[in-house]
Homo-oligomer: A and B are copies of this chain.
Amino acid sequence: MSRRTAVGVKTRSAVRRPASRSESKELTRRSLLHAALTLLSERAFDSLSLREVTREAGVSPTAFYRHFDGMEELGQVLVEESFGSLRSMVRDARAEAGLGDDAIGEDAIRRTLAVVLAHLHDHTAHFRFIARERYGGVHRLRRAIHRELQLFAEELAVDLAVVPIVGQWSADDRRMLSGLLVETMVHMVAELLDAGADGEEGITRQTEKRMRLITTGVPSWRSVGPG
């Protein structure tokens, strides 16, 4: 306590004197966002009050206004942060999946799911926020989340163009496939967040099977069904 925290040791609750006014302001801002995310783990954003957030963060209600216009602005920041998490995950997943000249094999599926699970553990609160507000009571949040997931699916659709058979498909069919794969992963995340730790293995195993069944259908797919 009498010295600075040892170099290289990052402790969540490391007590160290903030170096400057702006740094200390940033700390308060972070603790407000953190407090909101904590409360959102079992509440809808809709029902969160400004005073609850400041109480959880350990500052006075008025301090809130030094950082945000109101709860709506804080919500927007949470969305942006959560999308940051999502995008970094997508980047990793695309790298790991390594779509190329091969069909979408078991390995690609397993590696992708591993990336999702890793990010889920690192950004649980962000992912829960997205899952909860995706169809929640706040229109602006729903729209923002929808747009972001759409974007993700469209990126995957483009990636899929290099996969052998899928490369011959129409763009619409590719979007259908990528949308189904993305939705299957999103659903897994939502279920994992809602289930206890003991449900984890069953859910991931089922999801892996689902992804395999979907890709199994690829070689026999016909865009328009038989007469």
Contacts and interface: CB of A to CB of B under 8 A. Distances in A.
Interface stretch (A11-19, A30-38, A89-97, A204-212): A204-212
Given A47-B47, A47-B137, A137-B47, A213 B217 contact: yes
Q: What is the total number of copies of this protein in its complex? A: 2
A226 B106 CA distance: 9
A132 interface: yes
A176 interface: yes
A179 B212 CA distance: 14
B43 A180 contact: no
A159 B222 CA distance: 26
Contact of A184 (B42, B134, B180, B225): B180
A9 B218 CA distance: 52
A190 interface: yes
A221 B210 contact: no
A134 B137 contact: no
Contacts of A215: 217
Contacts of A216: 217, 220-222
Contact of A209 (B43, B173, B213, B227): B173
Nearest to A186: B187
Interface string A39-62: 000111011000000000000000
A67 interface: no
A135 B135 contact: yes
A177 interface: yes
A83 to B, nearest CB: 18
16 contacts: A42-B137, A44-B44, A44-B47, A46-B137, A106-B225, A134-B135, A135-B194, A136-B136, A176-B213, A177-B213, A180-B213, A183-B184, A183-B187, A213-B218, A213-B221, A216-B217
Given A134-B135, A142-B194, A213-B214, 6 more contacts: A44-B137, A47-B47, A106-B225, A132-B137, A135-B193, A216-B220
